[in-house]
Amino acid sequence: MTETAVKTLKHYVGGKWVELDAAGTLDVTNPANGQVIGRVPLATAKGVDEAVRVAQAAFPAWRATPPINRARFMFKLKDLMERRFDDLAKVITREHGKTLDDARGEVRRAIENVETASGIPSLMMGYGLEDGAAAGIDEEVVRTPLGVFAAVCPFNFPAMVPFWFWPYAVACGDTYVVKPSEQVPMSMAFVAEMVDEIGLPPGVFNVVNGDRVAVEALLDHPLVRGVSFVGSTPVAKAVYARGAANGKRVQAQGGAKNHLVVMPDANVEKTVDNIVGSSFGAAGQRCLANSILVTVGEAHERVIPELKKAVEALKVGDGLEPGVGMGPVISEKAKQRIVGYIEKGQQEGAKLVVDGRKNPAAAGPGCFVGPTIFEDVRPDMTIAKEEIFGPVLSVIHVDTLDEAIKLIEDSPYGNAASIFTQDGGVARRFRYQVPTGNVGINVGVAAPMAYFPFSGAKESFFGTLHGQGRDAIDFFTEKKVVITRWFDNLRVAGHHGF
């Protein structure tokens, strides 16, 4: 794309592409080549206020829309997303850098959330009892929408993560404001075009671009009833604290340091395939990536040589090119941070067996760091404790399953953990004991389907209700208890009954 073709994005508010009060713009770059592909405006608190008020104005009419009619918009969106499937995937790859196959997987996950939200007439059903409180008194629970909700989204899944939240909120009868990452705003702009095409009423779904100023404005705005966040743990803590202090519902997904445990009886070929996909897919930039490989007993000698060969054969490059297995990281700043962790690992005595800094792609243009593997890693090393969010895998060897579980228990994070074994008893014990929100058994990326919650524990999640599925329905609605008694009017003078 030439400089003259670079487009400055707008905000999607009230069913229109608008300019809000802004504090300048940021360049959006393709991390595979450093080329500027767009400019994103940074809304001020005044601009955010305008968007929220538009969403609030749309709420009464949208709330009054029957759930079955709201669901029909989800069916329309699902159909359009299927038809524009590869178009959206290519937008994701260009602005994020992940391979086209990874991007397609992301779009599929987004569509699955739309499919689940389309079941809203059933998902919002309440419950009750005749004579539930006393004789002649009925009691029931009904769900009601609350108003305006917002999402503050990360760069690593520019299309999928917003879909953990907004389809459910909108299907429930709420209105919504999405604040995409300023690093990858073009995917949600593409989604907004599709939302516009299906004819969703103006103001029900809105996209506001911005940085920290916009986030704080959403957290402080009195008309915003709740905020969903995905990002690093320090920011998740701050978002949760600020939103809760302002009386909002908050679900804040934080960082991770996920462990993948390999037992001696694991299927080596399948296990290695899963390790490569889990640790180096999307260049390791996902909260379900396994960044610590724990080999138990003889598993080390069986798995590590095959893993090293598979990783060295992984082609790194532009995610749009055929045969590429791993793309760049999101930015030059991210690249330098990851390189710093590699250097730190060496300084602390870990054995560097695959050095991503020496990958051929790392010498060319773009923000490339090749897949990296450390062995002889101790739990007290920086690379074993801190979230790197890049293609760096640390291998820790232990003798027993108890030691492997203890590593996971000692981690401050609790997003996910996986085990590879053919022993059902071992697998059951693992799933029972590990204190993580998501558990994989012979699954490298323990990503829940849309009708299950995207769980998390300890420092990886702040809140009570998670994204996706019935948790999302509970988050975006209030349970209203209705207690009813009807008096017998048959004895009223002049009343002849039926």
Task: Enumerate the active-site residues.
Answer: 287
Token pair in block for residue 95: 């602005």
In 3-state terms, what secondary structure has residue 422? coil
Distance CA 152, CA 177 (A): 9
Distance CA 348, CA 332 (A): 24
Token pair in block for residue 134: 């006393």
In 3-state terms, what secondary structure has residue 363? helix
In 3-state terms, what secondary structure has residue 133? strand
Distance CA 125, CA 380 (A): 50
Distance CA 206, CA 222 (A): 17
Token pair in block for residue 120: 């809203």
Q: Tell me the CA distances in angstroms from 125 to 128, 225, 425, one per residue in order.
A: 10, 22, 38
b/e string for 108-128 if b means 16 or more Cβ within 10 A?
A: ebbbbbbbbbbebeebbeeee
Distance CA 359, CA 366 (A): 13
Q: Tell me the CA distances in angstroms from 121 to 12, 70, 140, 370, one per residue in order.
A: 28, 9, 17, 47
What are the backbone angles phi and psi of residue 349, rounded to the nearest 5°?
A: 100, 5
Specify whether the CB–CB gap between 255 and 232 falls below 8 A.
yes
Find how far residue 457's CA is from the centre of its chain.
15
